[in-house]
Amino acid sequence: MKQGLVVGREETIEIIVTEDMFASFEGVVVHPVYSTVAMTYHMEWVSRKIILPFLEDHEEGMGASVQLKHLAASTLGSTVTLTAILVELRDNVVITKVTAKNHVGIIGTGEVRQVILPKETIAQKLIEASV
């Protein structure tokens, strides 16, 4: 990784809740609100933004774990702001704490763990995982 990635680095994204983000299973909407699946995706995305400027050409980040608590609903058309803060950097492991907020307040909290690996290592792992 390039120099400069330090604990405390922060990134933010803002999304508008759309129907494709609703809580649904097999195409059936269960609740017309921002789903935990969508929140997980956005927490990973904002955490990825933390590492992007620091990846070398031969490196890539991989998600290793996401832990989140979905605390409140966010309805169609509402704005959700997700903020990730780098809280730990150990060797090739990057850990962020993430908060999701809407106009009412905090709707989710979480932690995302990413591992930085050489692209060659990732390619080899994909070969090994192939059927």
Which of 123, 113, 128 is CA-nearest to residue 47? 113
What is the overall mean pLDDT for the chain? 97
pLDDT at 85 over 90: yes
- pLDDT band of residue 11 (cuts 50, 70, 90) is very high
* Mean pLDDT along residues 112-125: 96
pLDDT at 131 over 90: no
**pLDDT tens by residue, 13-27:** 999 999 999 999 999
**pLDDT tens by residue, 38-52:** 999 999 999 999 999
**pLDDT tens by residue, 86-111:** 999 999 999 999 999 999 999 999 99
DSSP string, 60-107: EEEEEEEEEEE-S--BTT-EEEEEEEEEEEETTEEEEEEEEE-SSSEE
* Cα–Cα distance, 15 to 77 (Å, whole number): 9
pLDDT at 58 over 80: yes
Task: Give the residue ranges of DSSP H helices in the chain.
Answer: 36-51, 119-129
